[in-house]
Amino acid sequence: MRPTALDSHHPDESLRAIIAEQLRTNPLNRLTRLDGRPIFEHSLVGVADGDDPLFAEYKTIIGAFHLTPREVLARELAASPGAADASLDTIRVIGWILPIAEATRAGNRAQREVPTIAWAHTRTYGERFNDALRRHVVAVLRAAGYAAVAPAIEPYFRILSEGPAQPPASVWSERHVMYAAGLGSFGLSDGLITPRGMAMRCGSVVTNLPLAVTPRTCTSHTADCLYLAEGTCAACAARCPAGAITREGGHDKAKCQAYSYGRLRPLVATYGLEGEPGAAVGCGLCQTGVPCEAGIPAQGRRSAGAQATP
């Protein structure tokens, strides 16, 4: 039988099976306008304790506007008549990593200036699948009687940006959530290096289902980057066509964004994405053709706490 409903006796395994099933069977996880290949292969799921002090620290590290899981769920319950008495004793954040298909990564590896059409379609249609997965996981949890919400698709989700002085940051940073759930650490390029690599997209759902928390095993938030940990590599800086990554300054978001909205903007039309909701093109060259593309470059430095889905 297909795992579409939560098995409350084995919620951890059940949830991973439900996510894996979506990757296998949801037609949105296909590049249907190209060769029909899967957008994402496999998945990696981790769980953070919603009351981990790290989430409060994010109000300083990211900004006071960044929401905690408790704030997210309290907001959800206040807006749902009948659910206001739901227990908030336990709060969990489910995070997933969706590694980009090898064929798509291989294509982008050969690029020097702009992304391939498959990479561009992965950005637009892959995020559409990611949103569908967020909605699906929320629906499954609610059907089982739990509170659940995916902050990244709520109407209050915002990306705040006030020019170079205040580079873009959102009220719910998926990468910081993944870090909290033991799913990776940050690289020189700002990208999250996960056990399945940096060439990925990620998503999350907050719930009061008491899932087992996955351990965070890295020794710092930059432990897995070869440059930040031991001063070698910097391959992402050499790959960036916009000069937006340097050894001294790390990732310059303003330069990266300007390249996306400037040099790459015509590709929205060239690649047939004009008019598509949420269409955007980012080059992602810093995520392919680098040692952290498909895994943690210095494997063995630590073991991942997260569990791969079947």
Contact 207, 261 (CB under 8 A): no
- Binding positions for ligand SF4, 208-237, rule CB under 6 A: 225-227, 233-236
Q: Which backbone phi and psi does 267 adopt, to 5 degrees? A: -65, -20
Closer of 68 and 185 to ligand SF4 (Cβ): 185
Rule CB under 6 A: is residue 256 a binding residue for ligand B12?
yes
Smallest separation, CB 216 to ligand B12 (Å) = 10
Give yes or no for a contact between 182 and 214, defined as CB atoms under 8 angstroms apart: yes
| 98/150 with CB nearer ligand SF4 | 98
The stretches of 28-116 forming alpha helices (DSSP H) are: 53-61, 69-79, 102-109
Instruction: Select from 8, 23, 7 the least CA-distant residue to 310.
Output: 23
Residue type, 267: L
When the beta carbons of 13 and 276 are compared against ligand B12, the nearer one is: 276
How deeply is 165 buried, as exposed, middle or buried, from its count of CB atoms within 10 A (0-12, 13-18, 19+)? Answer: exposed
* Partner in contact with 242, chosen from ligand B12, ligand SF4, none, beta carbon below 5 to 8 Å by kind: ligand SF4
Q: Quick check: 159 binds ligand B12 (CB under 6 A)?
A: yes
**At closest approach, how far in Å is the CB of 168 from ligand B12?**
4
Among 44, 101, 149, 200, binds ligand B12 (CB under 6 A): 200
46 binds, among ligand SF4, ligand B12, none (CB under 5 to 8 A by kind): none
Q: Which amino acid is located at 174 in the chain?
A: E
- Give yes or no for residue 251 binding ligand B12 (CB under 6 A): yes
Asked whether the beta carbons of 191 and 287 are under 8 A apart, the reply is yes
User: Is 286 one of the binding residues for ligand SF4 (CB under 6 A)?
Assistant: yes
Q: Which helix (H) or strand (E) holds 257?
A: helix 253-261
**Helix (H/G/I), strand (E/B), else coil: 201:** strand
Total residues binding ligand SF4 (CB under 6 A): 27
* Binding characters for ligand SF4, 240-269, by CB under 6 A (x = yes): x-x-xx-----x----x--x----------
- Stretch of 43-51, 68-76, 171-179, 270-278 lying at the interface with ligand B12 (CB under 6 A): 171-179
Of 198, 239, 233, the residue nearest 113 (C-alpha): 239
Distance CA 197, CA 1 (A): 32
**Cβ atoms within 10 Å, residue 187:** 28
DSSP β-bridge partners for residue 30: 38
Binding site for ligand SF4 (CB under 6 A): 187-189, 225-227, 233-236, 239-240, 242, 244-245, 251, 256, 259, 282-286, 290-292, 297
Binding site for ligand B12 (CB under 6 A): 61-62, 123, 130, 152, 159, 168-170, 172-176, 179, 186, 189-192, 198, 200-203, 221, 251, 253, 256-257, 260, 282-284, 286-287
